[in-house]
Structure 1
Amino acid sequence: MATIQLVDVTRRFAAQATPALDSVDLTIPNGETVAIVGPSGSGKSTLLRVIAGLDADYSGQVLYDGRDMREVPPKERHIGMVFQNYALYPHFLGHGNLSFFFRLRRATDAETEERIRITAEIMGIGFQELLKRKPGTLSGGQQQRVAIGRAIVRNPALMLLDEPLSNLDAKLRTQTRIEIKRLLHRFRITALYVTHDQTEAMALGDQIAVLRTGRVEQVGPLATLLHSPANAFVAGFVGTPAMNLLAGGLVREGVVEFGDWQFPLPPRLRGQVYTGQQIVVGIRPEALHVLNDGVPAGGVRWQGSVEIVEPDLGRRTQWVHLRCAGHMLVAGAPLENPVYVGHRLTVVAPAEDLHFFDAATGLRL
């Protein structure tokens, strides 16, 4: 395994005004998985290609255990790659797909079979049977298992996974995600996992890196991104449901005003903001509760009309979408407490669970 570092990496394409990667600094620690998330066009796949050596037209450094890899071709980087479309050789059995790497390197039959045997043990129950079949006879989930096995069989220093579960249905996606997580953590494989699916990123990443327009907005464990987002973009992007972001707040003599509605400015911010400053207030939906007998009365309150109710059986919660003084808010309510469209409700959030961002820069206050 290896520690991977990107130092001030920039990649520009002639047809684009802005760089695909813009001064990216990122470390993938030895044995850890870093999940890369971001909107379409944020540079996720370009980042993976630069690390793999498939795109060498960049400035900055890509380091494997401190070694600059600019002149090292992809085939010599000891990388295992898994893609969205599986990329298996259709005329080979599963066994042939795994052994092809060793055939190219003229490895002995004994060495090849031993590596395949070890890989089959790693991949678990039923994998041996997949090795006896051609890709065309396998389901999407089975093909992806073979593709993952092919990446692992070479004992890579680094695994690069680019949207590997996108073509699978929901049930297979969950099963395969669990299998990938088990493999990565059991063998402490250094890995970069590119995905648009936050559930995958949260489940698989030891750390999550959020990209936007080629820049790394924040890197850290899930808890850090959820509870201490670096800026309003990260706050609104990470988490399901996303954080409520209320724009239009104005600082006035120790209070935050939203038109006719206001609440006290937290003491910790009074030395950081100035009168007349515009700010954005953020509240996680899970921190915003419908006011009832089981919810403490203290905190910051909003009142609004229910427009949508979304049950979330996995969390035994229903997400209530309310329109409050021109803003849309999402709050959590227990499933056993019926909530109906059209009801007027009061929701409350503890003051310590509010997040504040500068409206001009988006940065956390």
Structure 2
Amino acid sequence: MVKVKLDAVVKQYDAMDEVTLVGYKHGPALDHVDLEIHSGETLSVVGPSGCGKSTLLKVVAGLEYADAGHVFYDTYDMTQIKPQDRGVGMIFQDYALYPTMKGKGNLAYYFEQHSHSEEEMEARVQQVADRLGVDFNLLLGRMPDTLSGGEKQRVAIARCIVRDPVVFLMDEPIVNLDAKRREKTRIEIKKLLRQFAITALYVTHDQQEAIFMGDRIAVMRSGHIEQVGTFDELYYTPQNLFVATFIGTPPIAVIPVVLSSAEIRIVETAWPLPLELAEHSQQGAASLGVRPSDWQMDQADGIELAIRHIERIPTEQATFIHGVLPGDIHLTVIAPLDFPTRQAVKITPNWEHVSLFEAQGEAVLHTPGIPDLFD
């Protein structure tokens, strides 16, 4: 196990580069990125398309070289080291198996290229196969074109593990699988990462996948790391408005408000200033952030939400109410599954759980903090 550290890493593509054209025209793909992946940790990386997620992974792997800054594995500076000499294992979206080799041949290829003995190769392949489960041995004798997507990914994972990598790098590894197979495969990957205690970087566009796979999550935007933390830290204590709106499904509602020393005015309603927000000396315009689950319904002093659509989710035991507040503010409220069909509902924020941001910027003025689930 190693610790991976990026120190002020910059990666700038040329003006006509394909990657530049999809999002980096006005700045570097990686802009002075500082990041640390702890030894044995899986760090998920999420962010909008073109934010630099895949570039970050390629720089760690050595497939791209940083234009400035350094990449360390423990205390070793790997910035200019070739990828084949870094001891990394990579898994891609398309599996990248050798089509003319059976499963065993794909695992053994590394040993053949590095002049290892037949006995060492056989022992290592069997050791990994045994740890991947009894049924994995059945895949060793099959050609890639006879395997399902999930089976191909298992062979690709085993091919990485058999090399005993110091760092595991995964770029959307299960995006091409159907929903049922994707869920099963991510459980298998998570189990293997824990079992082999491999330091891993997991790049994905899927927020739920990032939460499930990562011990921590890094949120990226425009070549910058906006925040790194556990899901609870990102969800309850976002460092800026972008992180708050990016993390959470359905997303947080952001509502213009006006604060005074005595009240908070929201849309066409004013309430006495809640104790949770009274500590802030700032008065005037601000942005209130309320999660879909943090609205109280049918309150006498509530704001009327005109209901546009009701979506019942039995698997979540919840109803998603999609509606519009006065001022054309669209938001979603989570209600019990048996919420009755109606045209409108009055809602009030649960003041203990709201966030507050600058009106014209992204700075955080107040967050609710991580709740104590055992309090």
CA distance in 1, matches of 2:85, 2:312: 50
CA distance in 2, matches of 1:262, 1:114: 72
Q: Does 1:108 find its partner at 2:144?
A: no
Structure 1 residues 129 and 235 mapped into 2: Cα distance closer, same or farther (>3 Å)?
same
Shift in Å, 1:71:
2.7
Q: SS in structure 2 opposite 1:161?
A: strand
CA distance in 1, matches of 2:313, 2:267: 33
Structure 1 residues 266 and 231 mapped into 2: Cα distance closer, same or farther (>3 Å)?
farther
Structure 1 residues 233 and 132 mapped into 2: Cα distance closer, same or farther (>3 Å)?
same
Shift in Å, 1:154:
0.9
Partner of 1:178: 187
Which of 254, 258, 267 lines up with 1:250 in the alignment?
Answer: 258
Which of 277, 283, 290 lines up with 2:290 in the alignment?
Answer: 283
Structure 1 residues 310 and 289 mapped into 2: Cα distance closer, same or farther (>3 Å)?
farther
Structure 1 residues 119 and 264 mapped into 2: Cα distance closer, same or farther (>3 Å)?
farther
Q: SS in structure 2 opposite 1:92?
A: coil
Partner of 1:145: 154
CA distance in 1, matches of 2:306, 2:331: 10
17-26 or 167-176: bigger deviation: 17-26
Q: SS in structure 2 opposite 1:253?
A: coil
82-91 or 258-267: bigger deviation: 258-267
Partner of 1:7: 7
> What is the identity, as a one-letter code, of the residue corresponding to 1:253?
S
Q: Does 1:339 find its partner at 2:341?
A: yes
> What is the identity, as a one-letter code, of the residue corresponding to 2:42?
T
Q: SS in structure 1 opposite 2:69?
A: strand
Q: Does 1:157 find its partner at 2:166?
A: yes
Partner of 1:191: 200
Q: SS in structure 1 opposite 2:348?
A: strand
CA distance in 1, matches of 2:249, 2:174: 19
Q: SS in structure 2 opposite 1:219?
A: strand
Contact 2:276 2:352 (C-alpha < 8 Å) held by counterparts: no
CA RMSD of aligned residues (A): 1.7
Contact 1:289 1:331 (C-alpha < 8 Å) held by counterparts: no
Q: SS in structure 2 opposite 1:352?
A: helix
> What is the identity, as a one-letter code, of the residue corresponding to 1:211?
M
CA distance in 2, matches of 1:332, 1:259: 20
Partner of 2:312: 311
Structure 1 residues 87 and 279 mapped into 2: Cα distance closer, same or farther (>3 Å)?
same
Partner of 1:351: 351
Q: SS in structure 2 opposite 1:6?
A: strand
Shift in Å, 1:74:
0.7
> What is the identity, as a one-letter code, of the residue corresponding to 1:312?
I
Q: Does 1:262 find its partner at 2:270?
A: yes
CA distance in 1, matches of 2:273, 2:167: 47
> What is the identity, as a one-letter code, of the residue corresponding to 2:314?
L
Q: SS in structure 1 opposite 2:125?
A: helix
CA distance in 2, matches of 1:254, 1:113: 75
CA distance in 2, matches of 1:313, 1:214: 39
CA-to-aligned-CA distance 1:102-158 (integer Å, 9 cap, x gap): 111111111111111111122223211111111111111111111111111111111
CA distance in 2, matches of 1:123, 1:286: 40
Report matched runs for 1:108-127 at 5 Å. Answer: 108-127=117-136
Structure 1 residues 58 and 108 mapped into 2: Cα distance closer, same or farther (>3 Å)?
same
> What is the identity, as a one-letter code, of the residue corresponding to 2:167?
L
- Name the TM-score, length of structure 2 as normaliser: 0.90
Q: SS in structure 2 opposite 1:126?
A: helix
Report matched runs for 1:49-60 at 5 Å. Answer: 49-60=58-69
Q: Does 1:363 find its partner at 2:363?
A: yes
Structure 1 residues 269 and 7 mapped into 2: Cα distance closer, same or farther (>3 Å)?
farther
Percent sequence identity over aligned pairs: 42
Shift in Å, 1:266:
4.2
Unmatched 5+ stretches in structure 2: 16-24, 366-375
Q: SS in structure 2 opposite 1:107?
A: coil
Unmatched 5+ stretches in structure 1: 292-296
Partner of 1:294: none
15-24 or 258-267: bigger deviation: 258-267
CA distance in 2, matches of 1:286, 1:328: 15
Contact 2:288 2:354 (C-alpha < 8 Å) held by counterparts: yes
Structure 1 residues 271 and 347 mapped into 2: Cα distance closer, same or farther (>3 Å)?
closer
Shift in Å, 1:272:
4.1
Contact 1:308 1:320 (C-alpha < 8 Å) held by counterparts: yes
> What is the identity, as a one-letter code, of the residue corresponding to 2:334?
G
CA distance in 1, matches of 2:197, 2:76: 21
CA distance in 2, matches of 1:345, 1:96: 63
Q: SS in structure 1 opposite 2:250?
A: coil
Partner of 1:98: 107
Partner of 2:18: none
Structure 1 residues 21 and 283 mapped into 2: Cα distance closer, same or farther (>3 Å)?
same
Contact 1:290 1:332 (C-alpha < 8 Å) held by counterparts: no
CA distance in 2, matches of 1:354, 1:210: 21
Q: Does 1:72 find its partner at 2:81?
A: yes
> What is the identity, as a one-letter code, of the residue corresponding to 1:23?
H
- Name the TM-score, length of structure 1 as normaliser: 0.93
Structure 1 residues 136 and 260 mapped into 2: Cα distance closer, same or farther (>3 Å)?
same
